[in-house]
A and B are shown apart, each in its own frame.
Chain A
Amino acid sequence: GAVVSQHPSWVICKSGTSVKIECRSLDFQATTMFWYRQFPKQSLMLMATSNEGSKATYEQGVEKDKFLINHASLTLSTLTVTSAHPEDSSFYICSARGGGHSDEQFFGPGTRLTVL
């Protein structure tokens, strides 16, 4: 149980385009979802926290107009990287918390974004 999926697992796009990444909790209702960014050989950095039906809370330094987060249902959150640029290339990981797992986050496998 407590499985989180992400789609796509990797994506390549041209500079200036927008990319949407989906995060789904497959077997539990995720009241809270988190989005992280991981640079090569570096740690995971929390970008934002979203509660179902509410606006996301962004960490300091993260542009909310650049990284649009939607958490419209208890099983789905999306991250849209708008007008992507090469510096947005990174590994994006989501996690989810909810159901009977209130004290633990369950992580998705991540999405590798490459912006050309």
Chain B
Amino acid sequence: AQSVTQPDIHITVSEGASLELRCNYSYGATPYLFWYVQSPGQGLQLLLKYFSGDTLVQGIKGFEAEFKRSQSSFNLRKPSVHWSDAAEYFCAVGASDKLIFGTGTRLQVFP
């Protein structure tokens, strides 16, 4: 069965600290992988996506993610978190016609 697991429900970091949000997936074929961010009152915004090629993907707002097929993972990273990064982050797998989302990780940033 296709599924996405985000093991961390809530993460708290200090501003300026590095960040890694975990995502593991189960998918029958070569997956398309996405990371979205959701701020209160706003829609999901695409941070980055992986379809093929280089397994290290650069996204917007200084985020990057690395696809590791052997670990079925697509973890999101940022070297230095800003207070404005506080939001809900969703990992998703699938194609553009059907996305399966993880349960999300809420990021809290302390000054």
Contacts and interface: CB of A to CB of B under 8 A. Distances in A.
Interface residues of A, number: 23
Contact of B96 (A41, A46, A103): A103
Nearest to B106: A41
A60 interface: no
Interface stretch (B17-25, B43-51, B67-75): B43-51
Interface in A1-34: 4, 6, 9, 32
Interface residues of B, number: 21
Interface stretch (B53-61, B79-87, B97-105): B97-105
Contacts of A106: 43
Contact of A109 (B43, B49, B51): B43
B48 to A, nearest CB: 11
Chain A interface helix/strand/loop/mixed: strand
B111 interface: no
A102 B96 contact: yes
A42 B96 contact: no
A9 B90 contact: no
Given A43-B90, A46-B98, A107 B44 contact: yes
A43 B44 CA distance: 12
Contact of A46 (B42, B90, B99, B103): B99
A110 B96 contact: no
A48 B9 CA distance: 27
Interface of B: 4, 9, 36, 41-46, 49, 51, 90, 96-104
Given A43-B102, A105-B96, 7 more contacts: A6-B43, A32-B97, A41-B104, A46-B100, A105-B99, A107-B43, A107-B45
